[in-house]
Amino acid sequence: MATNAQDFSYNRLADGTYRRYLRTVPKHRYRCVNANMYPEEEHPLPFSWDGKTLDWIIWRYIVDNGIKQPDLIRAQVAGHIEALKSEGESATDEIAHARRRLAEVGQERAFYQR
C-alpha cells in the first residue's frame, strides 16, 4: 500500500521530539473565515472546530429539537406550506429546491473532508 506524505500526522512528545503516525481517518475542521476578515465584529468562540465534534453537536441538536419532537416539525412544515400558498407558490417546487440544496451541501461537505 503506497502512502503519501499527507497521509501522516505528527505528535510532539514531551521531550520535544516528533512521532509520525499514519492517519486512518481523514481529519477535517470547520472554521470561521470571517473572524480574520472582520476582526472588529464579534464572532462566536472557538473560531475553529474539529469536524467530528461539530458534526456530533449538529446531529445532537437535530435529534433533540427535531426527531424527538415530530409535532414541532409538522407544525413548521404546515406553516411554511401555508405561507407558500398565500404567496401563490407550490410546496412541490420548494421541496425540489430543498432537495437540490441538500445535495449541494452534501457535495460541499465531502469536498472539505478530502
Task: Give the span between the Cα atoms of 54 and 84, in whole angstroms.
Answer: 32
Quote the pTM value: 0.36
**Cβ neighbourhood burial of 54 (10 Å; 0-12, 13-18, 19+):** middle
Model pLDDT, residue 3: 54
The whole-angstrom separation of Cα 91 and Cα 82 is 9
**Other Cβ atoms within 10 Å of 89 Cβ, number:** 12
Enter the DSSP assignment of 45. Answer: S
**109 neighbors 26 (Cβ within 8 angstroms):** no
User: pLDDT at position 34, please?
Assistant: 73
Give average pLDDT by consecutive 10-residue segment, the chain, 114 residues: 61 84 69 74 74 85 79 83 76 75 80 70
Predicted confidence at residue 26, as pLDDT, reads 59
Task: State residue 14's pLDDT score.
Answer: 85
pLDDT digits (tens, 9 = 90+) for 93-111: 777 777 888 888 778 777 7
Strand partners, 21: 9
Q: What is the pLDDT of residue 37?
A: 76
Which grid coordinates are listed for 72? Answer: 414541532
Q: What is the pLDDT of residue 1?
A: 46
